[in-house]
Amino acid sequence: MIIDCHGHYTTAPKALQIYRDAQIAALGDRSRSRTKGTLAISDDDIRESLEGAQLKLQRERGTDVTIFSPRASAMAHHIGDVTTSQHWSEHCNDLIHRVCTLYPNNFVGVCQLPQSPGAPMDACIRELERAVNELGFIGCNLNPDPSGGHWTSPPLTDRYWYPLYEKMVEVDVPAMVHVSSSCNLNFHATGAHYINADTTAFMQFLTADLFKDFPTLRFIIPHGGGAVPYHWGRYRGLAQDLKRPRLDDLIRDNIFFDTCVYHIAGIELLLKIVPADNILFGSEMVGAVRGVDPETGHYFDDTKRYLDCVTAVSEPDKRKMFEENARRVYPRINKRILAVA
Ligand SMILES: [Zn+2]
């Protein structure tokens, strides 16, 4: 079985964006009450949105299950307040739940959290519990920078985040470290903000004892770990200078990288540097880069093709990346897939 650990509902029916636009417009009108409102999307709308996109690509590329979450760039936690984020997250997560119910063989859910800059973790904890216990989700996306590019929150290793980590450990789900859109003109969302955040999160983990406090807490750093694998020597050297653990000890049970790197040389580097136990196959389709690479004639985000091409990795290691690691890092997936089978 081939499990893609990183997919977003980027093709959601238009009604979702119409809801969001109205929600944002209402923020400027204090006379309007803060109601959650409703979303008019039919099952056929959902089918239509997926059949020509994610489902078609799964079939064409030969992948089986996608760990599926709401569109990351649309989380936009910097807009409005925690109530805004809560209503928006609940709708987005409910929609993912409907996708997973319509296509239980193809999708397993991961939730968006109702984060808001400076807000306590309470709303996130409630939504995580709802998503896991009521919707059958197996993980969450955690935005290390809900300000959208201004980095006003404490580092991920700060006690500010601990109540959420306690809940994650309790329900045994990991988080993918995933920023959203950028409202800082310096940082292009998918080209800079995403990669910056991946790199930043790794350095935060390296410099603190978070995993001593939470030995079973697990994070997936997406987009191949940002700049980390390419600069592994720098981080190894920094860890040594700072009297921190060796990197392979640091990441072993707690930090994982996906394969959302859109060229073969980058994948080869990732596979050479990061232990096979810490790599999960992911494509982020349909997502950040949608075009065809003129040098290969294949889609940039067809990352399975790159892994298939690499000959320096053993078949057992490929099995880990395609399936076994995902089952270990997202243990709740085992029940979901088994239930379908
Ligand atoms: Zn993503």
The strand pair at 219-221 and 175-177 is best described as parallel
In degrees, rounded to 5, the angle at the alpha carbon of residue 308 between the alpha carbons of residues 283 and 288 is: 20
Q: In the chain, count of helices (H) and strands (E)?
A: 15, 11
Q: Are 321 and 282 in contact (CB under 8 A)?
A: no
Q: Which residues of 69-83 are buried (b: 16+ CB within 10 A; e: fewer)?
A: bbbbbbbbbbbbebe
Question: From ligand 1's centre to the CA of 286, what distance in Å?
Answer: 9
What pLDDT, in 10s, does the model give residues 85-95?
A: 999 999 999 99
Residue ranges of the chain whose pLDDT lies below 70: 339-341
Question: From ligand 1's centre to the CA of 332, what distance in Å?
Answer: 20
Q: Are 325 and 279 in contact (CB under 8 A)?
A: yes
What pLDDT, in 10s, does the model give residues 231-270?
A: 999 999 999 999 999 999 999 999 999 999 999 999 999 9
Question: From ligand 1's centre to the CA of 287, what distance in Å?
Answer: 7
**pLDDT value for 32:** 76
**pLDDT value for 340:** 59
Question: From ligand 1's centre to the CA of 69, what distance in Å?
Answer: 8
Retrieve residue 268's tokens.
Answer: 């080869």
**pLDDT value for 287:** 80
**pLDDT value for 232:** 98
Told to judge if 284 belongs to the known catalytic residues of this protein, a careful annotator would answer: yes
Question: From ligand 1's centre to the CA of 254, what distance in Å?
Answer: 19
From the candidates 48, 90, 166, 284, which is the catalytic residue? Answer: 284
**pLDDT value for 29:** 83
Q: Give the 3-state secondary structure of residue 65.
A: strand
Measured CA to CA, the distance from residue 294 to residue 300 in angstroms comes to 9
Place of tokens 């995902």: 326
